[in-house]
Amino acid sequence: MKLKIAVLPGDGIGPEISRVGVDVMKAIASRFGHEFDFEYGLAGAAAIRAVGDPFPEATLKLCKDSDAVLFSAVGDPEFDNNPTAKVRPEQGLLAMRKQLGLFANIRPIQTFPGLEDKSPLKAEIVKGSDFVCVRELTGGMYFGEKFESDDKAYDTNIYTRPEIERILKVGFDLASRRRKHLTVVDKANVLASSRLWRKVAQEMEKEWPEVKVDYMFVDNAAMKMIQEPRFFDVMVTENTFGDILTDEASVVSGSMGLLPSSSIGESTPVFEPIHGSWPQAAGLDIANPLAQVLSVAMLLEHFGLVEEGKTVREAVYASIRQGVVTPDLGANGESEYGTEAVGRWLTSWISSAGA
């Protein structure tokens, strides 16, 4: 197969983990006889400094002209610490999602054998957890009408029926292919937008009679995720709730450096780790590249390259079993392996098929 991949390294640790992701894809291409062409674009603070725009037109064109986007991370303290900044790196991420019509963010959450003790939760609670968060990505407060002054500010949480229907369909379809259990997360006891979500979901239940549907307020869902993460199979929710809950879910796996995601919709799909740019670690060779690598597995599987995706996942599992991990996963927060060394080990494993 021939694919054109737009690579957006972004900021902070982004370039370091991006290199590992690209190297893994090159190893897969070599082993399975594919042709992956990579072209790089600017995003985030790097783009602001270069051209004054966190998601410039050239990057949008590159994304639209590509089969997939391999994205890493955006964010920079220079902008985080300046509340008066009019242009921010994260605006580039929102612009990419909106302009590519990426309305569905799919974030798998799982535990990895041997790493259960890395979770702050008890091992017997997290062991065997395996669920997927489906987050609506282009609506809600992040994109609604905004106002800000010295004395007043608001963000409008607006959703329309078509927006809700299309993301719920993704959730129902995914649940029907997994354990046939869907949890719709909202705040329908307080928010009008959530009551519309619940109304639409109840109407759509009839189209998937094989799927068991639960309705859960977001505060209860947050508690349930910590108390009983194995309860969940597929969770679907709106933009803001999904952002918060999926970061919380990282404690189940034990590290945000283990969680990949895909964003799909009307145009080119984007594959990225859910963690941020961690600027304090940039250049220190300690960033965990496994979430980026698992995002590569999702990319490959998106295009029907099932065996290739499986090989990437097996390489990740092997690295964990053999202790070839970055300090966040090492014993006592230490490891002899840095980002680059883990990347080299993974590509070697893929090239030799684990022999």
Q: Which residues are catalytic?
A: 142, 187, 219, 243, 247
Residue found under tokens 């065996």: 307
- The residues with which 135 forms a beta bridge, in sequence order, are 105, 237
Strands (E), the chain: 2-10, 35-40, 68-73, 104-110, 130-136, 146-148, 153-155, 181-186, 212-217, 234-237, 260-264, 270-273
Burial of residue 317 (number of CB atoms within 10 Å: 0-12, 13-18, 19+): middle
Amino acid letter for position 351: S
* Separation CA 96–CA 63 (nearest Å): 9
- DSSP letter for each residue of 125-181: HHTT-EEEEEEE-SSGGGTS-EEE-SS-EEE-----HHHHHHHHHHHHHHHHHTTSE
Do residues 157 and 140 touch, judged by C-beta distance below 8 A? yes
